[in-house]
Amino acid sequence: MGRHYNAQDGEFGGQFWFGIQDSLALTDIGIDEAEPSFTEYRMSTADSPTLEEYIEMVEDKIPAVKQLHLTVDDMHPLWNFANNLEEASNKENLKLLSNYELALKCYLTLKTQDELVVQCEL
């Protein structure tokens, strides 16, 4: 149940954070949408600096995420961290962390291949 995203060739997938993250999360990060009929993003290594800039911004704002040792295949430490945030800062930080997860998956995937297509359910 819920809206999902996936890299076209199966490099990674995931589910948008319910009530926090919308299907245009990569647009929020700074990646241009490729096909408006369904939300699809085409990226190349040329987009890596944009992704890296967003990742660094979140890490500067929430330094503890740098210690989580996240991989494309294992984002559980991030989800556990998000569940333990103080309620007062929760909404804003959850939005940042949900987009951080997606940006990090894209960034790490582009370190091993030249192009990436991510399709997002609306």
Q: What is the pLDDT of residues 38-94, one digit of tens each?
A: 678 899 999 999 999 999 999 999 999 999 989 888 888 998 888 887 655 677 888
pLDDT of residue 47: 96
pLDDT of residue 84: 83
pLDDT of residue 23: 75
- How far apart are alpha carbons 12 and 5 in whole angstroms? 9
Q: Per-residue pLDDT for 36 more than 70?
A: no
Contact 21, 95 (CB under 8 A): yes
Q: Per-residue pLDDT for 1 more than 90?
A: no
pLDDT of residue 24: 75
Other Cβ atoms less than 10 A from the Cβ of 6: the count is 16
3-state secondary structure of 121: coil
pLDDT band at 2; cut points 50, 70, 90? low
pLDDT of residue 100: 94
Closest to 58 (Cα-Cα) out of 104, 111, 12: 104
pLDDT of residue 58: 95
Over the range 11-43, which residues count as b (16 or more CB within 10 Å of their CB) and which as e? bbebebbeebbbbebbebbebeeeeeeebbbeb
pLDDT of residue 8: 75
